[in-house]
């Protein structure tokens, strides 16, 4: 009988989750800052909504491309070193976005930000899987997902404050780079803190990997990965496509929210950014926590499809809330409807990631997480530019952004809910097989 290795102390494990949340906070601040400075960037760079949207799209493309090779390293090498290196790279390249002189330079810098941020999710999934027992992994990952949500909200708050300050302060002039515009200074200031966190991350302890007899050969690992996907193909298809549809809707909605208030309700970018950011910080984290709680209650009732059932509820609530925002008679009422909308839009993200490790063998978790990142990046990649194209070519004019959001929500929100509904039974079967394997391995 094989005795499993003990897990690290629960207190230290939650401390590591807290540090990972800090890393994701910084990642999402650096990721979302583009959405705050849309107007000033367009004025200086001479580009339209579609090009601005692609600054997020190209980030997502290379975020996805880099995830698989990085995940392979995360399944074999030090996760903390991989994350520390990634933080340093994406922070440095965020600063570089503020030092650029034209659209294509910032386009290239955003590629580097995407590659750096690709280290965080697969390495985190692997770390948490080794810090916590299987039953606590969905909860730990759902709590970790509050970091991206808080980071997104703080990006709008801090970015709005910084943009406000630099617009009123004296111009910043640097050797070689010359005078930086306010939107450029915003990139520089929000990117700098990550350089410090990168070095701090080297101090955490690497946990023992949950493997019985050491790492298998590359050929065996590849075969096991393919076998996992063959056995769980229906689960994976419905899970990935369902959550990707909700991700696409959510990223389009969040990216164009500040622009919506500027164009439709006449608010200043800094004011809209800060108000939206506070709503995001207060209400955004409640969504993943509520869904994790609901999944726990359903699991306690013996429902093996609990993770997917809880996840699709976010889409069910998000759709009417987003539609109400678009037809709200004033900025005040639009902000009121943003509270439940932000909760619902963010709610599936934690459970989407948390639903996978519990059906995945430990030594494959980072790569399975990376494959989902690759799928999820489709939503990040095409959500903002697709909505931008609707703004420019289908619904031109200042009011067009609201009709773009209504169209995106109706199509992709409903698609996500339907796919997750049909994925419930296959997921329950995958979890049953994983439980049987776990019991046989422990005996």
Residue 364 structural domain: 10-205+218-442
Is the confidence at residue 213, as pLDDT, over 80? no
**18-28 mean pLDDT:** 87
Residue 21 pLDDT more than 80? yes
pLDDT over threshold 70, residue 281: yes
Least confident of 23-32, 134-143, 354-363: 134-143
More confident residue, 65 or 249: 249
Q: Is residue 211 assigned to a domain?
A: no
Count of all residues that appear for the chain in the document: 443
Q: What pLDDT does 217 receive?
A: 47
Q: Average pLDDT, whole number, for the chain? A: 84
pLDDT in tens, 228-277: 888 889 999 999 999 999 989 988 998 888 889 989 898 887 788 888 88
Chain-centre distance for alpha carbon 299: 25
Local confidence band at 211 (pLDDT 50, 70, 90 cut-offs):
low
**pLDDT tens for residues 121-149?**
888 888 888 888 877 877 787 778 777 77
| Confidence (pLDDT) at 39 | 78
Mean pLDDT is highest, among 118-132, 307-321, 351-365, for 307-321
Residue 316: which CATH number? 1.20.1250.20
pTM: predicted TM-score of the whole model, two decimal places:
0.71
Question: How would you class 46 by CB atoms within 10 Å of its CB: exposed for 0-12, middle for 13-18, buried for 19 or more?
Answer: exposed
Tokens of 398: 């200042």
pLDDT by residue (tens digit) across 175-184? 787 788 888 8
Q: What angle do CA 52, 55, 57 make, to 5 degrees?
A: 110
- Tell me: pLDDT of 35 over 90: no
Asked if the model's pLDDT at residue 1 lies above 50, the reply is no
Is position 212 within any domain? no
Residues 6+ apart with CB under 8 A from 408: 248, 249, 252, 253, 383, 386, 387, 390
Task: Give me the helix-helix angle, 306-327 and 233-255, nearest 10°.
Answer: 20
The total number of structural domains in the chain stands at: 1
Q: For residue 1, is it within any domain?
A: no
Kindly state whether residue 225 falls inside one of the protein's structural domains: yes
Taking only the tens place, the pLDDT of each residue in 37-52 is: 777 888 888 888 888 8
Domain-embedded: residue 210: no
Q: What is the pLDDT of residue 5?
A: 67
Token pair of 53, please? 């949207």
Q: Would you state the pLDDT for residue 91? A: 94
Do residues 197 and 22 touch, judged by C-beta distance below 8 A? Answer: yes
Beta-bridge partner residues of 173: 179
Rounded Cα gap, residues 234 and 256, in angstroms? 33
pLDDT the model gives residue 214: 44
């Amino acid at each position: 009988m094989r005795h499993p290795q003990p897990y690290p102390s629960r207190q230290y494990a939650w401390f590591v989750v807290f540090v990972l949340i800090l890393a994701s906070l910084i990642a999402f601040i650096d990721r979302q800052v583009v959405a705050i400075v849309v107007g000033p960037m367009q004025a200086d760079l001479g580009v339209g909504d579609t090009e601005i949207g692609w600054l997020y799209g190209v980030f997502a493309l290379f975020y996805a491309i880099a995830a698989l090779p990085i995940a392979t390293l995360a399944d074999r090498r030090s996760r903390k070193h991989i994350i520390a290196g990634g933080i340093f790279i994406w922070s440095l390249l965020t600063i570089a976005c503020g030092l650029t002189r034209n659209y294509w330079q910032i386009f290239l810098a955003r590629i580097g930000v995407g590659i750096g941020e690709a280290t965080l999710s697969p390495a985190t999934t692997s770390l948490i899987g080794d810090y916590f027992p299987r039953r606590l992994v969905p909860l730990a990952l759902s709590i970790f997902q509050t970091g991206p949500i808080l980071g997104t909200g703080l990006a709008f708050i801090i970015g709005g404050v910084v943009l406000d300050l630099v617009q009123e302060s004296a111009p910043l002039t640097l050797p070689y780079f010359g005078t930086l515009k306010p939107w450029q200074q915003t990139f520089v200031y929000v990117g700098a803190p990550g350089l410090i966190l990168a070095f701090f991350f080297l101090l955490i302890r690497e946990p023992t990997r949950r493997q019985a007899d050491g790492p298998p050969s590359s050929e065996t690992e590849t075969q096991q990965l393919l076998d996992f996907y063959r056995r769980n193909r229906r689960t994976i298809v419905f899970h990935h496509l369902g959550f990707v549809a909700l991700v696409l809707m959510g990223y389009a909605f969040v990216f164009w929210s500040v622009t919506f208030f500027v164009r439709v309700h006449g608010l200043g970018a800094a004011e809209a950014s800060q108000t939206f950011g506070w709503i995001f910080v207060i209400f955004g984290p409640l969504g993943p926590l509520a869904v994790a709680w609901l999944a726990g209650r359903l699991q306690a009732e013996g429902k093996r499809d609990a993770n997917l059932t809880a996840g699709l509820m976010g889409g069910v609530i998000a759709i009417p809330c987003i539609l109400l925002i678009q037809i709200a008679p004033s900025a005040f009422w639009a902000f009121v409807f943003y509270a439940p909308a932000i909760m619902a839009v963010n709610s599936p993200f934690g459970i989407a990631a948390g639903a996978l490790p519990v059906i995945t063998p430990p030594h494959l978790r980072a790569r399975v997480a990376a494959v989902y990142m690759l799928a999820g990046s489709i939503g990040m990649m095409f959500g903002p530019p697709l909505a931008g194209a609707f703004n420019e070519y289908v619904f031109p004019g200042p009011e067009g952004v609201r009709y773009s959001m209504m169209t995106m929500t109706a199509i992709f929100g409903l698609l996500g809910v339907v796919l997750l509904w049909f994925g419930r039974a296959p997921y329950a079967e995958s979890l049953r097989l994983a439980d049987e394997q776990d019991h046989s391995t422990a005996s």
